[in-house]
Amino acid sequence: MAHFDATLLKTNIVSSEIKQIAEKLKLNSLSIYNDNDDAKIRDLLLILNCIDLTTLAGDDTYSNVSRLCYRAKNPLSNKIIEKLAQFDNHYHSNNITTGAVCVYPLRVSDCRQYLDRIDSNLPIASVVAGFPSGQSPIPVTLADITFAVQSGANEIDIVINRSLVLSGKWQELFNDIKIIAQHCHEKNVHLKVILSCGELGNLQNIYKASMCAMMAGADFIKTSTGKESINATLTYGLIMIRAITDFYIARNIRVGLKPAGGIKNATDALCWINLVRFYLGPEWLNNKLFRIGASSLLNNIEFEIFKLLFNRNPTVSELTI
């Protein structure tokens, strides 16, 4: 049973030290792959499998949502798949997909219709709670969740009301998320809670908001909507990971991490993989506990995998882009 414990909000964070650690991690992360293309390919494939492939545009239609679903189910070209099969028999086309697709509630039924047509059980995530502002009454959020789930969603991404954080109303924030989490879990769907870290004022608030979300029943905590001026940074990731670790120690519950917003290339994504590897451990290196919210990242991942496999840049016809 989710319950609020104010003692879990207490923390001592030295912002300058956290930022220095993040910078060192970014500098050192890629050196791991020096002369080890196999390790880099495996991590790129892991990233691919953890992507929530996203479209959240006002002009989304069945056509582009269907394309999104096709790409999520078939993220790599046949040429790459064939080469990977030589590299490792595990890498068959049926084993390589993104983690999920993510759309607005009105587009969930489009995803479900298309995925059913191609006989795919790829998860569908939907953003609610007045995304991206978080300024939506709880009854409206619950109704949006019900609509999304009835339309075929398996996962729900909500965004918190940042005003509660900025005014220090931690119990109220916990209460709101708890109501939403219970609603999601009664419907057997996972809940990701978007903190909008760039709008929370300071790193202490990010830690406390993370704790409130996890105490209330979040299955994942997520950095950003992708609409803030500052989105997913390794500094934010370190604070959220610290909260996830402290929560696991206190409650013996593993909560997932989802960076989102501004992660556009393989270099950035590899830094996040290594952040999780070093500070949470291998138990979190799967799409049950780690996701990356992205729209254009997949194109870059496919490009980089091709280069590593064939030792040259691909032509347009050799990719799925």
Token pair, residue 196, equals 């909008």
CB 208 within 8 A of CB 15: no
Residue 271 region, left (φ>0) first, then alpha (ψ -120 to 50), else beta? alpha
Residue whose C-alpha is closest to residue 48's, from 121, 97, 120, 103: 97
Q: Judge contact between 266 and 43, C-beta under 8 A.
A: no
Q: Which residues of 43-64 are buried (b: 16+ CB within 10 A; e: fewer)?
A: bbbbbbbbbbbbbbeeebeeee
Which is nearest to 218 in space by CA: 196, 244, 241, 187? Answer: 244
What are the Cα distances from residue 32, in Å, to 50, 155, 301?
Answer: 20, 33, 18
d(CA 4, CA 319): 49
Question: What's the start-to-end Cα distance of the chain, in Å?
Answer: 45
Which candidate in 52, 157, 176, 268 is catalytic? 157
- Structure tokens, 223: 């950095």
From the list 73, 178, 192, 222, the catalytic residue is: 222
Catalytic residue flag (residue 222): yes
Q: Catalytic: 19? A: no
* Closest-CA residue to 33 (of 298, 273, 312, 303): 273
φ, ψ (nearest 5 deg) of residue 224: -155, 165
Rg of the Cα trace of the chain?
Answer: 19
Whole-number Cα distances in Å, 267 to 227, 263, 270: 21, 9, 5
Q: Is 88 a catalytic residue?
A: no
* Residues noted as catalytic: 157, 222, 258
